[in-house]
Structure 1
Amino acid sequence: MDITEPWWRGAVLYQVYPRSFADTNDDGVGDLPGVTAHLDHIASLGVDGIWLSPFFPSPMDDFGYDVSDYVGVDPIFGSLEDFDALVTKAHALGLKVIIDQVYAHTSDRHAWFAESRTSRSNDRADWYVWADAKPDGSPPSNWQSVFGGPAWTWDARRGQYYMHNFLASQPQLNVALPAVQDALLDAMRFWLDRGVDGFRLDAINFAMHDPALTDNPPSLKPGKRSRPFDFQDHLFNQSQPQIPAFLGRLRQLADSYDGDRFLVAEVVGDRADEEMKLYTRSPDRLQSAYGFLYLYADRLTPALIEAGPAIWPGEPGEGWPSWAFSNHDAPRASSRWSEGRDGKAVAAVLMLLLMTLRGNVFVYQGEELGLPQAEVPFDRLVDPEAIANWPETLGRDGARTPMPWQADQPWAGFSTTEPWLPVDPRHPALAVDAQEADPQSTLNLSRRMIGLRRSHPVLRTGAMKVVSASSTLLVFERGEGAEALLCVFNLGHGAEDWAAPEGWRVIASVNMAPDSGHLPALAGCVLARA
């Protein structure tokens, strides 16, 4: 890697969902000491750092994304001392630490909201989005919440409605208010002072709303609609033009610390492409952003992969993309894109494909093992969206089940007691200890593919040019000139006639014999100039 590049540019970050990573106090829920105990495993993959999902105090209505204290650790996960120990060990292993920040809303049990709802004249009265009822008593606007139902809940204490884009227990912060921004910056400063290397900003395009409370128009987007939220074009409850200025304040604070502190936005919605670029367009905004182009796609095709570099072509002044195939909010890609094909073969080609994309890439815990999406029966569901919309949306629980560490231990070595979510019966055979000893395992292949990216700077920061994208065959170049690499993938169900072009040699491959004269289904390879 070019030593002039900041550490995060082209980095591979491993997402840890702490509730499901490793339980050390026998309560069935993962914790920070469990993460610390397994940092050696993460470091062995060759990744650059970890992204740690929320561990802050929370009533856990949305499993940590409903924060009740921005500057603490929920006792279920441990203590601030446990967090400090995690950061110390991660840094000793050469791993950066990125943590989530949820700035669009809090829990309704946050002290700020408890004060705000007491009256219309207290010191934090306008820290949340409050509005009077319409003359007929109905909500102030037609806005709908992501998890179902109106985005407004009546509060008798104030005699007003409060806004929530998600659960009713996640009231919307009035982030346009300078005092709220100052408080959020103070929270960010608290974690920077404890040594974190950056932040993932959750649902940041939901951070501000239209103060006129204008009704959203109906959506003209085709496709299935399983929630009231899907019926609207979300012009006014999110994605407001004041957001970039707030992001600039976050960037200014991050830049006041040494070490290239990294800020990446999660952006979801119909305008995610333009918003991601807006939020990263200049040096005084965020370094990177990612959306759900791949996370929510139900089929893997060359056209789907080609869409990524089309959004981020590398034009002057453009920001830097980040990509993920799986995370805690989406079904695991190895199942979502398998279409009945061998799971191990799917996992292998996906890992090579992810490592050859231009931008930062996120590997979700268990992705290095090739875990399939877990099957969680209805009576074990805990995800509020899954329960509310069953069976139309299966929810997020199947991607959040416990990490399997030991094949022959109860609950796959995650805990010594019944976990908060069940272990899928297919997962223990794919446990870390079972794969360590097998040179051909998905785990060891993942290490090789991540190592390939580390050893070739063009895979981290080089240009990406799609050469061809048929219905099944995807070919693209990374970098230019003598250092360029050629990446070839057959994403279809049948073999394709193919031979390495003259002047190129295969340096890495999955699911194929390099000189066979054809490219099997789910095969991929990377070629360098001979």
Structure 2
Amino acid sequence: MREWWRDAVIYQIYPRSFQDTTGDGIGDLNGITQRLDYVARLGVDCIWLSPIFTSPQADMGYDVSDYTDIDPIFGSLDDFDRMLAKAHDLGLKVITDQVLSHTSDKHPWFIESRKDRTNPKADWYVWADPKPDGSPPTNWHSHFGGPAWEFDATRGQYYLHNFLSQQPDLNFHNPEVVEAILETAKFWLDRGLDGFRLDTVNYYFHDKKLRSNPAAKATHQVMATDLYGMQDNIHNKNQKENLGFLERLRALCDQYDDIMMVGEVGDMGQRSIDIMAQYTKGKKRLHMAYSFAMLGPDFSAAHFRSCIQGFQKGAPDGQPEWSFSNHDVMRHVTRWAHHAVSEDAMARLACAMLMSFEGTIGIYQGEELGQTETVMEYNELQDAQAIRFWPGVKGRDGCRTPMVWQHDARNGGFTSGTPWLPVKAPQLENAVDLQEDQAGSLLRFYRDVIAFRKSHPCMTRGKTAWIGLPEPILAFTRSTADDNLTCVFNLSTKPLTLTLTGSATLAGLHSGALTKGKLTLPGNGFAFLDHDDAITLGT
């Protein structure tokens, strides 16, 4: 039987910003339960929840202090169970972020570990002595700026943190740590969860010899604030031992029915694609890998083709998950604005393109509304990364602002209190209620394209044959034995015309015209061509 996740469209919910039911300005589990009917109407198959576990919220829940309980700001375990039950009643699978590479410094494990060098958890985190001159053990950098090492006066040692100093890295070289982490995963599987989205999946193990990283090769421009990007990060992540842990976690998941693990590969470019291929190879590792490869500024036919084709070559039996937006990057409608005829045209092109890709598809809350990046003032920031690097780095708050349900309601219907991040006029213009009953709205477009994808087996199960057309045209055919669709996308703002040889008709939603062997696409236009026999396209 074919696994559910292979054909799935996964909808990411950022719980803090989805729906507040208590008036404290922060979204919660009961709010998610309240809005699940909306999610189900999109036609998606699964929801992914960003962290909801007990946390001091230094990094908005990605600093976990208790892996087996719900943070009170989101509700309780009973609230989680009710949410899970309703999702299942609606036919939705549920997966949650699992942040396993590091904990909060408020986690009981770390509190004990830092007491001294001989306690039972002394080796549960990555501790190392200073160099003779007192400097950190290696030159590794944190994603949040500065060294990836924090000196602790109690132990007289440094501890490793790839992210905030409040997020110490666990020592996966210690078998006790691995067993403890597997127990936390089992807790949620026993509760009925359908799988995990594994945060920073390639960061679990570090180089045991603590070798410093070399400088990055000068193949791409690095921002002056991106100290992390100035190194070739070969010793602080992507270690071969990661694979052994993933096989342990997969073996646990395989004891349950229909469980899926998707791992976030925290790398860009070809390395990201290579790691995705390695981590999904065979049937003993990840079910899928989630890449940042399409979450950056690159917007060209060559880029999208290289991402998908690179994965196909590297892991012919693996499964990717492709997304254009998430809670860590600028929303794609804004990110690709200089390639857009309009925000609406870009939103439609991106949706049509993403839904035609081979693999599992991920969309981020508000993407279906055409939401843009919220412009933040310094006094409105909550993201530690943005606060530290302002104004050089805008941070992640702009993509995390609340869902807007009603354009004329206080705070867009998100909360009756003061929202943790502001709701602003440009986002109110894309509210759900303005699009729900509007013929031709982007929300309806998303529903229709998702339905179109599901109605054509070639779009979910078909192989991809690439068509060699020049920029700015991305074109390929998705085929099964009984179903063929050729997908054509104009990634520029200028209209173009292609010649068509063979017999085809326009299928589903499209923004082009097909007349007398000519396919005309407006700027940011697209078309799906239905055909029984082979066709050719030319410029």
Q: CA deviation at 1:429?
A: 2.0
- Aligned to 2:146, the other structure's residue is in SS state coil
Letter in 1 for 2:60: F
Q: Alpha carbons of 1:510 and 1:376: their partners in 2 closer, same or farther (altered >3 Å)?
A: farther
Does 2:197 match 1:195?
Answer: no
SS in 1 for 2:435: helix
Instruction: Please give the per-residue CA displacement for 1:45-93, whole angstroms capped at 9, x wherever unaligned.
Output: 0001100110101111100000010000000000000000010000000
Name the residue aligned to 1:300: 299
Q: 1:377 and 1:315, CA in 2 relative to 1: closer, same or farther beyond 3 A?
A: closer
Q: Distance in 2 between matches of 1:344 and 1:493?
A: 13
Q: What is the aligned counterpart of 1:180 among 177, 181, 194?
A: 177
Q: Where does residue 526 of structure 1 map in the other structure?
A: 528
TM-score, length-scaled by structure 2: 0.95
For 1:527, the aligned partner's letter is: L
Partner of 2:327: 328
What residue is the counterpart of 1:267 in the other structure?
265
Q: Which moved more, 1:473-482 or 1:453-462?
A: 473-482
Distance 1:450 1:110 in 2: 41
The residue that corresponds to 2:7 in the other structure is 10
Aligned residue for 1:72, secondary structure, equals strand
Give the structure 2 partner of residue 504 of structure 1: 504
3-state SS of 1:385 partner: helix
Residue 357 of structure 2 is matched in structure 1 by: 357
**Separation in 1 of the partners of 2:261 and 2:133?**
44
Could you say which residue in structure 1 is the equivalent of 2:162? 165
**SS in structure 1 at match of 2:239:** coil
8 Å Cα contact 2:213-2:232 kept in structure 1? yes
Range with greater deviation from structure 2 (49-58 or 495-504)? 495-504
One-letter identity of the residue aligned with 1:32: L
Cα deviation for residue 372 of structure 1 reads 1.0
Q: Deviation at 1:318?
A: 3.0
Summarize deviations over 1:115-148 as a string: whole Å, max 9, x none. Answer: 0000111111100000011111111111111110
Once the two structures are TM-superposed, the CA of residue 421 in structure 1 deviates from its matched residue by 0.5
% same residue: 46
1:10-89 paired onto structure 2 within 5 Å: 10-89=7-86
CA contact (8 A) 2:55 2:63 kept: yes
Q: In structure 2, how many angstroms separate the alpha carbons of the residues matched to 1:404 and 1:272?
A: 33
The residue type paired with residue 504 of structure 1 is A
CA displacement at 1:509 relative to structure 2: 3.0
Q: Take 1:402 and 1:223, find their aligned partners in 2: how far apart are those partners?
A: 33
TM-aligned CA deviation for residue 32 of structure 1: 0.5
Alignment partners' CA distance in 2, 1:481 and 1:461: 10
Q: In 1, distance between residues paired with 2:111 and 2:514? A: 63
| Shift, 1:512, TM fit | 3.4
1:370-429, CA deviations, whole angstroms, 9 ceiling, x for partnerless residues?
111111111111111112222222111110000000111011101112211111211112
Alpha-carbon deviation of 1:317? Answer: 5.3
Matched-pair contact (CA < 8 Å) for 1:374–1:424: yes
Partner of 1:141: 138
Deviations 1:166-195 (A, max 9, x none): 000000000121111111111101100111
Matched residues, number: 525
User: What residue number does 2:374 align with?
Assistant: 374
> 1:213-232 alignment to 2 at 5 Å?
213-221=210-218, 222-225=220-223, 226-232=225-231
> Which secondary structure state, in structure 2, belongs to the residue aligned with residue 220 of structure 1?
coil
Question: Structure 2 residue aligned with 1:120, among 83, 103, 117?
Answer: 117
Would you say the 8 A contact 1:482–1:529 is kept in 2?
Answer: no
Q: Cα offset for 1:334?
A: 0.9
CA contact 2:281–2:315 (8 Å) conserved in 1? no
Deviation at 1:502, TM superposition (A): 2.6
After superposing the two structures, state which structure 1 stretch, 312-321 or 484-493, moved more: 312-321
> 2:512–2:519: 8 Å Cα contact kept in structure 1?
no
**1:94-124 Cα shifts (integer Å, max 9, x gaps):** 0000111011100000000000000111111
1:517 deviation in Å?
4.7
Q: Kindly tell me: are residues 316 and 170 of structure 1, through their superposed partners in 2, closer, same or farther at Cα, counting changes over 3 Å? A: closer
When normalised by structure 1's length, the TM-score is 0.97
Residue equivalent to 2:387? 387
Note if 1:151 corresponds to 2:148: yes
Pairwise CA distance, 1:316: 7.1
Following superposition, the deviation at residue 314 of structure 1 comes to 5.9
CA contact (8 A) 2:140 2:213 kept: yes
Indicate if the aligned counterparts of 2:205 and 2:238 stay in contact, CA closer than 8 A. Answer: yes
Give secondary structure in 1 for the equivalent of 2:317: coil
Distance (whole Å) between structure 2 residues aligned to residue 450 and residue 501 of structure 1: 29
1:105 is aligned to 102
* Contact 2:274/2:311, CA 8 A, preserved across alignment: no
Asked whether 1:91 is paired with 2:91, we answer no
User: What's the Cα RMSD here?
Assistant: 1.4
Report the 3-state secondary structure (helix = DSSP H, G, I; strand = E; otherwise coil) of the residue aligned with 1:161.
strand
Shift of the alpha carbon at 1:290? 1.7
Range that drifts further, 22-31 or 176-185: 176-185
Deviates further, 431-440 or 298-307: 298-307
Match of 2:337 in 1: 338
For 1:200, what is the secondary structure of its paired residue? strand
Distance 1:437 1:251 in 2: 44
- Aligned partner of residue 508 in structure 2, secondary structure: strand
Distance 1:44 1:468 in 2: 37
Residue number in structure 1 paired with 2:453: 453
Instruction: Give 1:480 deviation, angstroms.
Output: 4.0
- In the alignment, structure 2 segments of 5+ residues that lack a partner are 533-539
Q: Is structure 2 residue 401 aligned with structure 1 residue 401?
A: yes
**Which residue in 2 is equivalent to 1:238?**
237
